[in-house]
Amino acid sequence: MTSDSRRRRLLAPALGCALVLAALVSAAGALAAAPAFTLTAIPAPSNFGTGAANTVQVIATNVGGAATDGSPAVVNVDVPVGYEVTGAFFQALPSGGGEVKASPCSISAGTSVTCETTTSIPPGRLIEVEMSVKLSGAPSSTEMQASIAGGGAQLVSLTRSLPAQSTPVPFDIVTGLNAPLFGADGSAASLAGSHPFGQVVDFGFPMIETLGSIGEKLFAASGHPHEIVVNLPRGMVVNPSATARLCTETEFPSCPASSQVGNFNLGSVLGTGEAWLTELSTAELRNVVALAADAVAE
């Protein structure tokens, strides 16, 4: 891994990004590995006008050091009265490629969604829930509640705002910029001088509805961000020996599987008009070593 890439990660513009880094791992004193989830939720468009149909993604990522154990992992989502869930499905994504069949979630009273899977989710992989939600009346609240438990992991919950307004949400990091450190068992790691198992860098931007060159409806990130750079704090460095193999610059991007050091998950919006959908792209982060310019002789 180059000295610059130890402190920086360059990310494409997106509805939501999650960077799962396992390069901070240290074998010494490691905790027993266990599955553990983080949750993020992103609506698109971000504002809810009366009667308009929006898509809300809820993504649960396994940030622990072990796969889920095959027992049911259950995602629950509750929207406030005044919002209505008109459809919901989920995908369990245990790998980074190939087609995965979507499965329906159950919907109760138009406000509660339950999705259950027994698929084993390895570290760095995820469960994606996608819901169609509309604002059907004056809401009692704008706070959506989401949680996941099971599969050998502890309960994790999340609260996310669903702004009830006709005007677009201005540019901001709507989910907050979250970058927790954690141990191999998924517990928080905050002790100075320790060697955490990994880190998740999670953020998202508000989505707006706009018009294309010929008047067609498009969806884009508010403010049209182009490049996003994530800098690790001073004093925090990744472990270049965290993988069994380093990938060389000449091998990149066709690196060996043993050089994988994390995952990159990118949520985006595709299509125009009413025929639009959200897409989740995943990629593997590699442990790359680069030679300094003066290390190569003619």
Q: Which DSSP string corresponds to 151-203?
A: TTEEEEEEEEE----SSPPPSS-TT--B--EE-TTS-B---TT---SEEEEEE
* Domains, the chain: 8-295 (2.60.40.1510)
Q: Between β-strands 37-44 and 103-104, what pairing exists: parallel, antiparallel or unpaired?
A: unpaired
Cα 14 to Cα 114, 217, 271, 282, distances in angstroms? 27, 18, 14, 12
Longest CA span, the chain: 73
Q: How many whole angstroms from its chain centre is CA 94?
A: 14
Q: What's the confidence (pLDDT) of residue 158?
A: 94
Q: What's the confidence (pLDDT) of residue 44?
A: 82
Q: Between β-strands 247-248 and 288-289, what pairing exists: parallel, antiparallel or unpaired?
A: parallel
Q: What's the confidence (pLDDT) of residue 149?
A: 97
Cβ atoms 278, 130 nearer than 8 A: yes
Q: How far apart are the first and last CA of the chain?
A: 24
Q: What's the confidence (pLDDT) of residue 79?
A: 97
Q: Is the peptide bond before 253 cis (omega within 30 degrees of 0)?
A: yes
Residue 6 structure tokens:
């130890």
As beta bridge partners, residue 42 has 57
Q: What's the confidence (pLDDT) of residue 20?
A: 59
Where the chain has pLDDT below 70, the residues are: 1-31, 96-100, 175-176, 210-226, 265-284, 289-298
Q: Which residue has the tokens 């509309």?
A: 134
Q: What's the confidence (pLDDT) of residue 25?
A: 45
